[in-house]
Structures are given as C-alpha cells and as structure tokens.
Amino acid sequence: MEDFDMDADDIIEQENNKSPQKKSLQPTGIAMDALTGLLDSYSTTEMKNSRRLAASIPLQQQQSHSSSVKLTATINTPARSTTISQASTPNVATFHARSNKAEIIVEHIGNQSTNKNTNQTKKIPIIQLKSLVKPYKYMYQTMYKRANVLNKQIEEFEDLFLNMINNKENEKSNIILYPIGNPVQDEVYLVGRIVCDSAGQLNSQSTALEGSSRTSKCNRVRLDVSSLPNYSLFPGQIVLVSGIYTNDGCFHAKQLIDPPLISHEIETKITHDLTFMIAAGPFLLANGNLSAFDELLRRAEDDSSIQTLILLGPFIDERSSYIQNLQDKTYEQLFNEIIEKIKSVRIKTILIPSLRDIHHDSIYPLCPFSINENKDSTILYGGEPSLLSMDGLQCAITSTDILCHLSSEEISLNQTTERMCRLIRHLFQQHSFYPLIPPNESVSIEYEQAIEYAKIDSLPHLFITSSDLRPFIKFIDSVCAINIGRLIKNQDSTMINNASGTYAKIFLSKTDDDISNGTILNDHLHIQILRL
C-alpha cells in the first residue's frame, strides 16, 4: 500500500480548523438517539459491555466508584480482534488416514448438462474481474462521513420503493413517504433501516425503524410487529412499512414490504462448455504442511476438463494455531510458497483474499493481493468481494461468512421459505454482499468503499460463498447459490466431523437460450461438492 501523505493527527487538526461555512455539509437534524445508535454500530464489544454495565449501576454507585472505574465513550478505529480463538488443525497423519476420499457431498445434475471429462480441446474462457483493484487509505472516516453513506443508502431505497408502489397502482396516485417520528392519524408508508433500540440482540420487542436525513431527519420510532402475519428482519435491513402510529409513540406495522429483486444485467448465452473448480481455505494442515493443498492442485491438473481454478482465502489463516505461533518463517514467505505451487500447475487461477488472511489488510472490502506478476502469468488477483465474468457467466463470489453472520442476527415469524434461500435473497434485495449493520465483530467495514465495491447491481447467475455452515446448492429465483464449504475442516468442527473439508466442481454446458432464465440455467448446470 502506498505511504500516507500525512499523519492522522494532521488530518484531525485540519478538520478541526475548517471554516464554519463547511459545517453545512454535515447531515442536519440528526437526533440524539440516532447518534447513540451510530455509536453502538462502531463500538467494540468491550465498549458496548461497558455502556450496558453503566446503565445497570445506580448513579450513586457509579459516583462512588468513579475513581476506580472509568467508562469511555470514544469510538475506536476498526482493528483486528486481539482474542482470536485457536483452531485445532488436523495433522498430516490424520489427513492421510481420512475416509470417504472424493465422496460427493451434494450434487445437482441438470436435465441437459453433458459433462465430458475427456474433453481434450480445453478452451480457456475470457475472464473479467469487477472488484476493488488497488489499496485505499482506511481509518480516516469520521462519524459524519459514515453516517452520510448509510443515509445515502436509505434515500436510494426511498426512491426505489416509490417507483415500485406507484407502478403497482392501477391509477398512478401520488403516494408519499411520511417522516418517521411525526405521528398522524391515517395509515401511512414509512421507509427506514431496521435497528435494535438497545445494545443487545434484535428481537420483536426491541425493533426500531430509522429514517433518512432527507425525509425523517434521522429520527427513529419503535416498530410494533405483533400484527404482521410473517416477517424476516435483521439489523441494517431497509424496508417499506405501512401502518399507523399508536398512542404510546410506536408505529404499529400492518404490512412489511421488501425491496424488489434486481434484474440480470444482460441476456447471456454460453457458446462453449465451461468447467471450473473452486475451493476455499484454510489450506494448511498442522505444522504448515501443504499436503491437502497439493492434493487439490493434483486433482485440478489430472482433470483435463478443468479450465479455471478459483481459490478463496484464508490462505494464511489467523485462527490457525500454527500461524499464531509461527517462528521459523514470515507470513509472506509462507504465502509465497503457496503461490509457487499454484504456478507449477499452469492452470488459470483466480485468488480472492479473506478477512482471516493475517498477512493482508483486514478492512472490508479487501483489495487484491499485491504481487508483481509477469504479463503471461496464469494467476489473476481479485478483491473481496468480486464479480467475475467467464464467457458471459456472471459469478458473485465472497469469502466473508455473511450467511453465518446473518443467521445469528435474523429474527423471523411464520416463514415458509427455506432459511438459507431466505438469507441469500436478502442480499439481492438489499443490493449488498454485506448488508448487516452493525457488522459482526470480526468484520471492519470501510463504508465509503463498500457502497461501491460491495454492491450487487445486478443478479448474478451463480452466487458462490464459503461458509462454516453445511455445504449446499440452492436455486433462488434465477440464481444458483453454492456454499462450497472449506478445504480443511477443524477437528473441533460441529458441522462435519472429518479431517478433510470440501471443494466444488462446476460444469455448464453450452446453451442456445438466455441462461438468465432460471430454468435454462438449472437444466445446463452440473455441480458437485466433493470431499477432498
């Protein structure tokens, strides 16, 4: 990353010395409760616990202990957690003694998929990567800059909802969005972000709706969801709610409307068969052994149909006990060993980093690995997350475990949709790879970059992620979602009690029709999630 051209203290000094006229650039009318919620969003777990403790201690007791207990209200800059749990990585003997090698865990075979493993004329697809391309300076955002980004998101959805509502009406009536926090007697429409009204976890009694600066001056109102027949909510979700204000100052929701799904970018026909393999780290066994990674590369090389290999981090996993106690070499040296092994295979390979890569910046979204390569190199470096196009096949790829994070924060009632499908649909409806606000404590987000590089502008054909949840293949509307799992499973894993993890092999036969049609894509896909 390029050197900073000024110190952080100089930045703060310059901002403090700005003329009063520039204060008009800050959001106006921000309510105190909105600022309090924003403080919770960017505070560490320790700070939240401190504020929760302060609220539960009587005032006299706080004053009597003021000399020994000091509660702070400052915002720390995003930092890597200092309490990283160590993972019990399988050793070489356990790995080689594993059972069920190359076992098919999950498989989908389309009606018209004709996977030919004996294909001798391997055509390399045209690959285009749309992701963050260069490092950026982080930890420079002020609270107001972050609030501006989050406010802009709500305003964009306000326009989206208005268009959706008016287009559905037989006669285009001028339906307006009412300000949050200004009670009226009639049934009204509100647009806002779902937030928790306390430092705890979201539940049906602590749900609140936060409005935009433009419409509601960032006010909040407690949301009563008791009359909704069904719902699926999580912190950070932007929704349209119709209902009435009650005498106790709550908004009684009668209908909850999710944003419409985005559409596919263009019509796509696959003119050549596509076959690629995708795996996610960790790749190291105990003591830094690369036997598992060597076997993955060997399988990719022995299969003559494989055109592209996609590898997701972590490559140098910060949770590994070996990495945490590494002494004989540096993180970069160990990563370079992995790169040299990839180069020896001579297969077009795409590397995507992870927040758990200890040798890489851990600010989301992640920039690509910075390695000087020749023009004829077989390795491409993408950011996290990435939008990948292979001969027109659009793939949305992320190594961040958003599904696990959403799963632990979502509250729902009377849902008939399978949970994983519902969580993935949330990503498409919110137009984001990571819509959870505040994020999981393991994720530090630079929102000015995330609003551009972690945004889902159009529906992909494939959505690929690596989660600690059980591997799956799901079809959501016209998208095929795949959780490939991880190549090496920890021995203390509760999901799959086996020394080896999983990877995926994906084959798409050529088509005469547009694969944006979910049925066409389903019929021409052959997907296998295999045990290493």
Check which CATH number belongs to the domain holding 200 and give it.
2.40.50.430
Listed residues 257, 292, 320: the one ending a domain: 257
Does residue 339 sit in the same domain as residue 418? yes
Give a yes or no: residue 270 inside a domain.
yes
Give a yes or no: residue 243 inside a domain.
yes
Find all residues with CB under 8 Å of 92, minimum gap 6, and list them: 285, 286, 287, 289, 291
| CA distance linking residue 392 with residue 458, whole number of Å | 13
Does residue 352 sit in the same domain as residue 452? yes
* Closest CA relative to residue 212, chosen from 241, 177, 259: 177
Does residue 218 sit in the same domain as residue 250? yes
Structural domain containing residue 161:
143-257
| CA distance linking residue 194 with residue 206, whole number of Å | 10
Structural tokens at position 104: 């098919």
Q: What is the dihedral of CA 62, 66, 71, 73, to 10 degrees?
A: 90
Does residue 210 sit in the same domain as residue 268? no
Listed residues 205, 235, 257: the one ending a domain: 257
Total domains in the fold of the chain: 2
Does residue 211 sit in the same domain as residue 354? no
Give a yes or no: residue 38 inside a domain.
no
Give a yes or no: residue 79 inside a domain.
no
Does residue 228 sit in the same domain as residue 253? yes
Residue 133 and residue 368 in contact, taking contact as beta carbons nearer than 8 Å: yes
Residue with tokens 């000399």: 67
State how beta strands 274-280 and 348-352 pair: unpaired
Listed residues 257, 281, 300: the one ending a domain: 257
**77-94 pLDDT per residue, tens:** 334 344 455 556 777 887
Give a yes or no: residue 21 inside a domain.
no
Does residue 168 sit in the same domain as residue 285? no
**367-421 pLDDT per residue, tens:** 999 877 776 688 999 999 999 999 999 999 999 999 999 999 999 999 988 999 9
* Closest CA relative to residue 194, chosen from 241, 152, 236: 236
Confidence of residue 258 (pLDDT cuts 50, 70, 90): confident
Give a yes or no: residue 373 inside a domain.
yes
Q: What is the largest CA-CA distance in the chain?
A: 81
Hey, how many other C-beta atoms are within 10 angstroms of the C-beta on 446?
Answer: 21
**446-499 pLDDT per residue, tens:** 999 999 999 999 999 999 999 999 999 999 988 999 999 999 986 544 333 456
Does residue 354 sit in the same domain as residue 306? yes
Structural tokens at position 218: 């960032």
Does residue 332 sit in the same domain as residue 386? yes
Does residue 252 sit in the same domain as residue 346? no
Hey, how many other C-beta atoms are within 10 angstroms of the C-beta on 355?
Answer: 23
Q: What is the dihedral of CA 36, 40, 41, 42, to 10 degrees?
A: 110
